[in-house]
Structure formats: structure tokens, C-alpha cells
Amino acid sequence: MAFLTNFYAFLFYFAAFVLVSGLAFKIVQYSRTPAPLKIPTTPAPTKRSGVVFRMMREVVLFESLFRGNKWTWIFGWMFHFGLFLVTLRHLRYFMEPVPFLIQLVQPFGIYGGLAMIVGLAGLWIRRFYVDRVKYITSLSDHLILGLLVLIGCTGLLMKFVFHVDVVEIKTFYQGLYSFDIKPLPADPLLMLHLFLVASLMIIFPYSKLLHAPGLFFSPTRNQVDNPREQRHIAPWAKRLEQQ
Amino acid sequence: MAKATFEVPELTQYTEVPAIQPGAMAHSATFKAKEEFQKDLGFPGELVDDWQSKAIDKMGELLGRYRSLQVYMDACVKCGACTDKCHYFLGTKDPKNMPVARQDLMRKVYRRYFTWGGRLFPKLVGAEDFTKEVLDDWYCYFHQCSQCRRCSVFCPYGIDTAEISMAAREIMDSIGVGQKYCNEIIGKVYKIGNNLGLPGPALIDTLEGLEEDVYDETGVKVRYPIDEEGAEVLLVTPSADFFAEPHVDGLIGYGKVFHEAGISWTMSTHASEAANFGMFIGSYENMRRVAQRIREAAIQLKVKRIVFGECGHAWRVAYSFLNTLAGPWDFLDPRYPVPQHICEFTYELIQEGKLTFDKSENDDKVLTYHDSCNVARASRMGDMPGGQFEIPRAIIRATCNHFYDMDEDTIRDRTFCCGGGGGLLTDDLMEVRVKGAKPRLDALNNVIQEKGVTHMAAICAICKTQFSKVLPYYGMEMDQILSLHQLVSNAIVLTPGPDDEEEDEDDDLDGGDLDNDNEEMGDEAA
Ligand code: SF4
Ligand code: SF4
């Protein structure tokens, strides 16, 4: 078993490294790239506080998507909110002691897992049955959906059908913090689940999953509508003026 | 009207989302710019030899210059929310006119050359080499986007296809593949001062004619000054306003508003054009150069305020970019925003009770109002977000008794583009223009049927020209489109000045001749 445990320990160190460094690279790239012109999609807030509120509505409620397509919104929101609950539920593996709020959220995490699967299924069906969506879908879109569905299903199976020793899993992750590698239960379902999660972490910074940080940097959403009041100029554009 | 060589869509009560028809518009090819026009703008005259690597370099440069482009290339999840939002897709059924598919034309090249996924597994992530076929697709479909931003309203990440079209056009220009219509016009602005290529003396002549016409009609001397140093306001307006119908009726209206306000104003032969086609081709440098003329004119004429006439994308550049491109405006009167829209100007006067209207002058019409895309989704009027919707409507309500809005889903920030914006207002794109107008005209037809609407007012030179051209294809009349300030002009009650008493005897001027001669010119004017 030592081999498998070591392999998974390495895999998670690697995945965490790729995820963090890849995202950090992207976030630095986005924030370093200037937005030389004011391009908020109007009507837009005229104050910073309004922009914060607008962004919150986008992040929490998917406001624009709601206006755009109700079905996609329902499924997309279900999936993301489900994923959010599931993530909260999983935090118990990474924290000791487990904060009260995380204890509280445990049962909801299970509903979250179900919502996630339903949402993903709905989104996937659209890719086959709506001709426009089918047209824009590439192989990677199917693969990412498949990956997420599998992660969800293996997780739910472990909860409802083939139970695994959660205490041992927790020991494994706690050990990773101090480079003290503790044995992982040799459960095939768990192995698959963890492998898929690690894969997701690895592709995150190199795929469309970048929509998560991207949203915060989207100039049409995060700019204040005040071009007449305040002169907005990018460094490279400023250089043109000095010529 | 020219006979259509393509099938004009049938109007439907509500715009239905069509089944996709791949390749439906693949034949659309707008004329390419000849060498001489490319050179004026600092672009190579024809496709350069190593165009592929040059284009990729340029793309890299733009990715580093524009955060929008970088983020939008990465962020799309192919959710499909934008797929049924583009009027060109709705009108042509061509799936490459779906915003995300249009973006993908660039995204697949981006992925191939700028991402690990695309370098290692091109097939998997839909990455493709930048081949000649791909370039041809770019030219075809990035010239079927009016940069109206309707797609960006509904995208969960605010992905704005307009940003991508602009970048694509700039990349193409940089390798010698430019569009004739846009680039020729920008050249005219540099050489002569406006899109129409109207020289100063012609403008002066026209404005004198206008003054006489207005005097004949109203008995009041309303001035249409140009190049008058020391005036309070510089009015910058699209050059279509000088000649073409229905634009010129708007200009007549602005003059009457200034007259009643008692505020001195002037136009400028140097900046005799509000439009800035530099935006359409995504060229910051050209956009800046065009915008600088306005600064120069303001300094030269020693004005205190700048007001823009009715023009959609011009207002976007004015409102959102002018401070960036040609500011700071610290030499102007700080009590007023720079620049102001003529609608803001008129609306303020209405609020202050300085204008008197006889609404019954517009009783022969039942109005609706078309929100121009760039005004609606890329700018503002007044202090409040959404003022760009309310202020023009308030002006219509103040000047007309009969006004009805079109279907809520097709107005305000969800408005449909007229089909001619973004540098597509050229005869060689007639099919795209006619088909792209369908969603707007579906909604218009609806209020015509249900509310008895007779006319649609707009505040954009492109919209006005486009509608006068395409309305007849759908069995409507070209003069059903009006300038908003034409309504003001009709209803405003003018106060005679001291020298307005005696009736002018000679009535040999035929005001009608303006309409006929200049209809053709309108195309370029916007
Ligand atoms: S709405 Fe935005 S994220 Fe969705 S497919 Fe269109 S561009 Fe992509
Ligand atoms: S900007 Fe307008 S024309 Fe261009 S793709 Fe989006 S909706 Fe279509």
C-alpha cells in the first residue's frame, strides 16, 4: 500500500502546486495587463461600491446568465451552488478542529452533491439537444463535464453505498501538511475520486475553468462608469502622448 | 431601392431563434482596402509575405495591451447564453454569427499559439493553426459584427465580442488586410476633416442654405454658425447631419434649441465629424488621431463647452473615450461634463423650462424610439445610470403626444442593433445589413400593427441611414425613420429676434432639393 499512498501524496503536492502557481500566474497576468479604455457594459454603476454590488450579484446569483438563458441559469446555478456546499463539507478533512459552521453544513453538503449532479446533467444534455450549443461544444467541454460528473458520482457512492474510512482519509491529509505521509485507505472508489479531483486541480489553470478568476477581471463588469469625471489612461497609451 | 439579390426574411411577430444553417453567410465579402488607403493609416498595402507570424506577433502584442482580450480569450465556458442574442445570427441563421462562435474564430488561434492545451492537444480543445482559410473566415465574419455589445449583456463573464472583433480587425490591418469602407473613410477624415469628404467651403455654403430655409419656414433667423471663434459651445456632429435626410432635420433642431437657449455655438470645419471609425478597426492610434481634431478645434475656437450631435458610436467614443484619447479638458468650463450629448443639453433646458413646445405639430405621427446600441450599452447620459434611455424618451414625450415603446425585450440595454453599425454600413454588405435588421424590424412591425406607430425616432447617424435603406426591403417607407431632434424642431416655439419682423420676400429656395441629391451620400456619412 505504501506505493499507492506515496503516489497520492505526490499527486496532491503536485496538483496543489500546479493549481496555485498556475492561478497565481494567470491572476498576475490579468492584473498586469492594462485596460486602456472604459468599457463597462452600461447601465453600469457610477461608484466603486456599486461595482462591488454588481460583481456580487454576478458571482452569487449569475445575474447576466439569468437574463440570458433561464435553463442554463437553473442548471448552472444548481451545479455551482452544489459544488460550493460540497466544498464546504469537504473542509472537515482539512481542518482540525472542525469549525462549528463546517459541522453545521455537513448534511447540506450531501444535498449539494445531488444538486451538482442534476445541474451537470442538465448542462450536458443541452450540449446534445440544443443545436446552437452543440455547434460550439468541443471535445474538452464534454471531458470536463464528464470529469465533474464522475467526481460527483464517486463521492456520492462512497457516501451512500460503499463507505470508506473517513478518519483515515483525514489523517492522510493532515499528514500532508507536515510532510508526514500517513496511509490512505486502499479503496478503489476513493482512489478514483481523488485521482479525478487532482486532475481537475491540474487542468484548472489551463482550461476554461479560468472563468472563475476571469470574471473578477472582466472590464465590462468591474469598471466604474465615470469616464467624464475621471481621466482613465493606460501606461502604454500615456507614452503615445509623450511622443 | 435596389432589387434584392438574396432572400429577404419574412417579418415575424416575435423574433424566433432559427435552426442553425452552417455556411449561410460564408459568401459575404466586403471590399478590401486598396494600398493607398491602407498607407494613410499606417498599415501595409497588401497581405505581407510572412503574414502568419506577423499576425501572431500582433495578437501577442494586443493580448498584452488589452485586458479585455486576454480575459475573454480564456474565460468563455461555451455556456451558449449568447448564441441567440446576435441580430446577425437571428437574421442569417449562420452559426458563425453566434457571438461565441465568432469569438472562437480567434480563440482557436489563440489556443494554438498561446496556451499549453492548444499547443499539446489542439484537437481536444478546438485549437487550429492560423491558415489562409482561417484568415478568410476572420475577414468574412469579423465584418458581420456591428460591435453592438448585445452579447456582452447576457454573458455571465461579460465577454464582449465587440472587443474581439476590434482586435481581429486590427490584426488583419496590421498584415495588410483592411476593409475598404472603414479605412477609406478614416483617410478622408485625415485629409478633409469628415467621413463624407466635404470640404470647408461646401459646409459653409450648406449651412447658409439651411439658415435661409429655416428663415423661410419660420420667419425667425436661426443661426447655423461654423468656425466662429469665441462661441460658448462647440458642436461636433456626424457629417451626415449636413446633408442627408433625415439627419439634416436633426441639425435644424439643434440650431433651434441653441437659438432658444440663447447660447452661442459653432461647428468646426476642422472637426466636422463626430464619428470615429478608428474604434471600428480597433486601432487605438487611429482613434486617438481622429479624436485629437476635436481638441484642436476646441482650442482654436476658444469654446467653453463641447456638445455632440446625434450619433451612436460617436457618442460612445465621446462619452467613454474622449477624456482618455484627447483630454484632459481642464481648459473648458468645469461646470459642465465634457463632452455633453445634445439630448442632455436639450433635456436640461426642458427641465429649466426654457423651451416651449407645441406638441400638436407632431400629431400627424405616432412615435416609437430605437435605442442605438452604442448609446444604450456603452455610454450614459445625465447623472443616473440608464439616463441614456430615459432622457431621449423624456424629450419625445415633451414634444409629441403619441409615443409607444417597442417590446421590452428589444429596447434599452437589450436593444437590437439597426444592422448597419460597426463599419458595415456599406453597399457591399447589403445582405448582412438587411438580414441583420430583422429582429429590430420585427419589433417595429409589431408596434406598427398593434399601436398604429408611424415613425421611429433614433439618435444615431448610422441607424438613420441604415433604416432609410433597409426599411423598403421589408415593405416599409424609408422616411419612417426620423431624427429625434426633428421632433424637437417641429414642436419648438421659436422666439423671434429683433431683426425677424419683416417677411423675407424671395421664396425661390426649394427646401426639397436637399433631400434628393444627398440620399446617396448618407451611406458614408454615418
Ligand atoms: S455567454 Fe459568454 S461564456 Fe457563454 S458561450 Fe457566450 S461568450 Fe461564452
Ligand atoms: S457585438 Fe453585436 S454584432 Fe457582434 S457578435 Fe455581439 S451581438 Fe453580434
CATH at residue A146? 1.20.950.20
Ranges of residues in chain A whose predicted pLDDT is under 70 = 1
Statement: residue B503 has pLDDT above 60: no
For the cut 80, the answer to whether the pLDDT of residue B308 exceeds it is yes
Residue bearing the CA closest to ligand 2, atom 5: B99
List beta partners, residue B492. B357
Three-state secondary structure string covering chain A: CHHHHHHHHHHHHHHHHHHHHHHHHHHHHHHHCCCCCCCCCCCCCCCHHHHHHHHHHHHHHCHHHHHHCHHHHHHHHHHHHHHHHHHHHHHHHCCCCCCHHHHHHHHHHHHHHHHHHHHHHHHHHHHHHCHHHHHHCCHHHHHHHHHHHHHHHHHHHHHHCCCCCHHHHHHHHHHHHCCCCCCCCCCHHHHHHHHHHHHHHHHHHHCHHHHHHHHHHCHHHHCCCCCCCCCCCCHHHHHHHHC
CB contact at 8 A, B277 and B290: yes
* B52: pLDDT strictly greater than 90: yes
The answer to whether the complex's ipTM is over 0.85 is yes
Confidence of residue B346 (pLDDT cuts 50, 70, 90): very high
Whether residue B514 is predicted with pLDDT greater than 80 in this model: the reply is no
CA distance B360 to B487: 11
Q: What is the largest CA-CA distance in chain A?
A: 71
Distance from the Cα of B124 to chain A's closest Cα (Å) equals 5
CA of B71 to the centre of ligand 2 (A): 18
Q: Evaluate if residue B516 carries a pLDDT over 70.
A: no
| pLDDT value for B397 | 97
User: What per-residue confidence (pLDDT) applies to B517?
Assistant: 40
Q: What was the pLDDT predicted at B501?
A: 57
> Could you give the number of structural domains in chain A?
1
pLDDT band at B509, cuts 50/70/90?
very low
| Cα–Cα distance measured from residue B396 to residue B66, given in angstroms and rounded to the nearest whole number | 39
Average pLDDT, chain B: 93
Q: For residue B157, how far is its CA from the centre of ligand 1 (angstroms)?
A: 7
Residues of chain A contacting residue B159, judged by C-beta atoms under 8 Å apart:
218, 220
pLDDT number for residue B115: 96
- Grade residue B187 by pLDDT with cuts at 50, 70 and 90: very high
CB neighbours of A78 closer than 8 A, spacing ≥ 6? A115, A116, A118, A119, A122
Q: Which three cell numbers stand for residue B119?
A: 499547443
Mean pLDDT of B130-154: 98
For residue B2, name the pLDDT band (cuts at 50, 70, 90): low
Tell me the mean pLDDT in the region B23-37. 94
Q: Which atom of ligand 1 is nearest to the CA of A211?
A: 3
Q: pLDDT digit string (tens) for B426-483? A: 999 999 999 999 999 999 999 999 999 999 999 999 999 999 999 999 999 999 999 9
Give residue B51's pLDDT. Answer: 97
| pTM to 2 decimal places | 0.94
Full domain range(s) for residue A213: 2-242
Best to test chain B binding among A25, A26, A32, A41 (most B CBs inside 10 Å):
A41
- The phi-psi region of residue A157 (left if phi > 0; otherwise alpha if psi is between -120 and 50; otherwise beta) is alpha
What are the residue boundaries of the structural domains of chain B, listed by start?
Answer: 35-178, 186-491
Residue B196: predicted pLDDT: 84
What pLDDT, on a 0 to 100 scale, did the predictor assign at position A1? 61
Query: For residue B520, what pLDDT band results from cuts at 50, 70 and 90?
Result: very low
B87-110 pLDDT per residue, tens: 999 999 999 999 999 999 999 999
| Residue B195 confidence (pLDDT) | 85
Nearest CA to ligand 2 atom 3: B145
Read off φ and ψ for residue B346, nearest 5 degrees. Answer: -65, -45
**A:164-193 residues touching chain B, CB 8 A cutoff:** none
> Do residue B125 and residue A139 have CB atoms under 8 angstroms apart?
yes
What per-residue confidence (pLDDT) applies to A236? 94
pLDDT band at residue B502 under the 50/70/90 scheme:
low
pLDDT tens digits, residue range A97-136? 999 999 999 999 999 999 999 999 999 999 999 999 999 9
The CATH label, of 1.10.10, 1.10.1060, 2.40.50, 1.10.150, for the domain at B35-178 is: 1.10.1060
Integer Cα distance of B437 and B321 in angstroms: 27
| Cβ proximity of B188 and B199 under 8 Å | no
What average pLDDT does this structure show over B172-194? 94
- Examine the pLDDT at B38 and tell me if it is beyond 70: yes
Task: Report residue B513's pLDDT band, with 50, 70 and 90 as the boundaries.
Answer: very low
Beta pairing partners, B233: B265, B305
